[in-house]
């Protein structure tokens, strides 16, 4: 893969102590009982080309030569990095140019897939159905054009900077409005920066999309360590605390003295961890996958007994959703949390990778299956396949999975346990998320709740699937924080 990093020249881009580890959680814990010093980047333009299959798919351009060993998961307090050395904080433009041989190899592998027999049930209870997988593979091998995705990615300003010994890739789009509110938006698994591309225009240029100039955002979308075009950690320690710390460094390095954060999935864990650090620059956060489940509900779910009496309709719905997910939806998280290195098959087979990724949760899988049946949904076949292709070409199936393992090493609670966030929080509940958080749970979990709304549609990948609703939620959520700057 050919990736070019040039010395950064654009002027616009030159510019409390909490026991985090005791509450930092593993993403979708394996059982319900668990209910920076930067290094100097080269100052000369760097060109990296891959000549073999492995090198082509490795994105070596995003790998740091050294990595500082830290013990963040053993500390009781974490403070943002305040490194100011200009060489150590260099920011380099980044473009993607995948060699044709990598795309030809991908197509050959898809066509050569060794298929299993069809499932012998009529639903998805045995996993990704053969018909869906074959429709996806057929589209991927014959109709999908990575070059369109590549051009789309390269139409946005992309950069790489080294934080705490690791190259971090990110998109940064500044609004023309000088009073725009900076926001850092974090994806999860099996997501990527591709999830957020649809919301960049409406957030940075709201007038062009029917909004008001005062709704403008500067948008920063980083790739998680081990994901996409960011570097792959070569030693332990890159869990949500360290990532949250890196995100704070990134926003300050970009010159922002006030900003907000947004995330779902891993993005929620990282945004909430940033909120727990409470740097003065962070005004508030927005989440579309909040951590609100009360302790008594988590205990009841863990026991496997009947639903507690006296729950409201919304609470009963959330309980049933969580019960289903914990009993039947945690297979992928169990494997990645315990044995991520074992996933050689999804690193070597495009169709294996695709099936692994689209089987994240029942509702989003149902949507994806409908898309490949020809139905019109919030996602298209191209949307789905370009995200999978990004994982394939960057060879990040295993490196991305390690985030689950890393977090499990320090986990003390469940992913949906309230974390006592004390800064302003906005919550958007999309109807087909893994669980729809009831308002009363949310109000208890976030004492400074500034916005709560239930959306009539939208699944786990809300920004990707329902970008207009998502953008409207961010505009409303942060309006009061703009006024308080």
Task: Please write the tens of the pLDDT for every residue from 195-223.
Answer: 999 999 999 999 999 999 999 999 999 99
- pLDDT-derived band at 413 (thresholds 50, 70, 90) equals confident
**From CA 93, how far away is CA 12, in angstroms rounded?**
12
Q: What are the tokens at 255?
A: 């010159």
- Catalytic (active site) residue 265: yes
pLDDT confidence band for 85 (50 / 70 / 90) = low
Indicate if 460 belongs to the active site: yes
Summarize the confidence of residues 234-251 as an average pLDDT. 98
pLDDT of 55 higher than 80:
no
* pLDDT tens digits, one per residue of 112-152: 999 999 999 999 999 999 999 999 999 999 999 999 999 99
Please give the distance of CA 279 from its chain centroid, rounded to a whole number: 22
* pLDDT single digits (tens) 243-292: 999 999 999 999 999 999 999 999 999 999 999 999 999 999 999 999 99
Say whether pLDDT at 63 is over 60.
no
- Closest C-alpha among 276, 96, 81 to residue 169: 96
Label residue 373 by pLDDT band (50, 70, 90).
very high
Contact (CB, 8 A) for 293 and 269? no
Local confidence band at 298 (pLDDT 50, 70, 90 cut-offs): very high
Q: How would DSSP label each residue in 159-183?
A: EEEEETTEEEEEEEE--SSTTPEEE
Mean pLDDT, rounded, for 363-391: 97
- In this prediction, residue 143 carries a pLDDT of 98
If you search the block for the tokens 């961010």, which residue do you land on? 474
Q: What does residue 250 show for φ and ψ, rounded to 5 degrees?
A: -60, -50
Q: How confident is the model at residue 484 (pLDDT cuts 50, 70, 90)?
A: low
Residue 485's pLDDT is: 59
pLDDT score, position 469: 98
Instruction: Indicate if the pLDDT at residue 25 is higher than 80.
Output: no
Considering only CA atoms, give the Rg of the chain. Answer: 21
Which of 365, 391, 404, 446 is an active site residue? Answer: 404
pLDDT band at 414 (very low <50, low <70, confident <90, very high): confident
Q: Can you give the pLDDT at residue 351?
A: 98
Which 3 state secondary structure label does DSSP give 384? helix
Q: Answer yes or no: is pLDDT of 323 > 50.
A: yes
Q: Where are the beta strands (DSSP E) in 368-459?
A: 425-432, 449-459
Query: Which pLDDT belongs to residue 87?
Result: 75
Residue 236's pLDDT band (boundaries 50, 70, 90)? very high
How far is 359 from 353, CA to CA, in rounded Å?
A: 10
pLDDT, tens digit, 9 for 90 and up, residues 29-38: 333 333 332 2
Q: If we measure between CA atoms, which residue out of 375, 376, 363, 373 comes closest to residue 430?
A: 363
Helices marked H in 181-284 — which ranges? Answer: 197-204, 240-253, 266-277
Q: Could you tell me the CA-to-CA distances from 391 to 193, 226, 356, 369 in Å, in that order?
A: 11, 10, 12, 20
Residue 318: is the preceding peptide bond cis (ω within 30°)?
no
Give dist(CA 82, CA 13) in Å, integer: 18
Q: Which of 167, 205, 265, 432 is catalytic?
A: 265
Phi and psi based region of residue 319 (left: phi greater than 0; alpha: psi -120 to 50; beta: remaining): alpha
Average pLDDT over residues 99-118: 98
**Mean pLDDT score of the chain:** 86
State yes or no: pLDDT of 417 exceeds 70.
yes
pLDDT value of residue 22: 40
The pLDDT of residue 176: 97
Question: Can you give the pLDDT at residue 88?
Answer: 82
pLDDT at 84: 47
**Domain 2-484 bears CATH identifier 3.40.50.300:** no
Tokens of 327: 């009993």
Q: Extract the tokens encoding 58.
A: 């490795």
Round to whole Å and give the CA distance between 380 and 382.
5
Length of the chain: 485
Provide the pLDDT confidence category of residue 5 given band limits of 50, 70 and 90: very low
Q: Which residues pair with 163 in a beta bridge?
A: 166
Angle (CA) 318-186-452 rounded to 5° is 40
What percent of the chain clears pLDDT 70, i.e. is strictly above it?
82
């Amino acid at each position: 893969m050919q990736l070019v990093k040039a010395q950064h020249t654009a002027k616009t881009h030159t510019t409390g102590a909490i026991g985090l580890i005791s509450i930092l959680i593993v993403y979708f814990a394996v059982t319900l009982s668990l209910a920076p010093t930067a290094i100097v980047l080269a100052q000369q333009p760097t060109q990296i080309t891959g000549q073999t299959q492995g090198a082509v798919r490795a994105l070596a351009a995003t790998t740091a030569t050294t990595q500082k060993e830290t013990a963040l998961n053993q500390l009781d307090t974490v403070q943002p990095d305040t490194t100011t050395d200009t060489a150590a904080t260099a920011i380099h433009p980044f473009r993607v140019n995948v060699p044709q041989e990598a795309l030809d190899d991908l197509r050959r592998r898809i066509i050569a897939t060794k298929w299993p027999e069809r499932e012998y049930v009529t639903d998805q209870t045995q996993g990704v159905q053969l018909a869906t997988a074959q429709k996806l593979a057929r589209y991927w091998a014959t109709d999908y054009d990575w070059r369109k995705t590549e051009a789309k990615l390269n139409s946005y300003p992309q950069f790489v900077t080294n934080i705490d010994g690791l190259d971090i890739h990110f998109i940064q789009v500044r609004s023309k409005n000088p009073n725009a509110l900076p926001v850092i938006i974090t994806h999860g698994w099996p997501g990527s920066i591709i999830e957020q591309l649809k919301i960049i225009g409406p957030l940075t240029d709201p007038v062009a999309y029917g909004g008001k100039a005062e709704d403008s955002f500067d948008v920063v979308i980083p790739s998680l360590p081990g994901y996409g075009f960011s570097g792959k950690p070569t030693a332990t320690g890159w869990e949500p605390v360290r990532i949250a710390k890196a995100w704070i460094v990134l926003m300050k390095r970009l010159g922002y003295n006030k900003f907000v954060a947004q995330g779902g999935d891993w993005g929620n864990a990282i945004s909430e961890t940033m909120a727990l650090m409470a740097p003065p620059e962070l005004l508030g956060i927005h989440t579309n996958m909040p951590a609100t489940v009360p302790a008594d509900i988590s205990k009841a779910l863990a026991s496997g007994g009947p639903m507690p009496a006296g729950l409201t309709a919304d609470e009963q719905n959330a309980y049933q959703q969580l019960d289903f997910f914990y009993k039947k939806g945690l297979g992928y998280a169990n494997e990645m949390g315990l044995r991520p290195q074992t996933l050689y098959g999804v690193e070597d087979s495009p169709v294996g990778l695709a099936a692994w990724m689209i089987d994240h949760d029942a509702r989003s899988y149902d949507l994806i299956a409908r898309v490949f049946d020809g139905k019109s949904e919030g996602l298209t076949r191209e949307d789905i396949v370009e995200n999978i292709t990004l994982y394939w070409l960057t060879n990040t199936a295993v490196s991305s999975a390690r985030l689950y393992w890393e977090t499990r090493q320090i986990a003390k609670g469940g992913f949906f346990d309230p974390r006592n966030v004390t800064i302003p929080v906005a919550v958007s509940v999309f109807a087909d998320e893994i669980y729809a958080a009831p308002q009363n749970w949310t109000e208890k979990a976030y004492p400074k709740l500034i916005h709560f709304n239930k959306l009539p549609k939208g699944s786990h990948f809300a920004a990707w699937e329902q970008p207009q609703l998502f953008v409207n939620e961010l505009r409303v959520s942060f309006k009061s924080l703009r006024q308080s700057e």
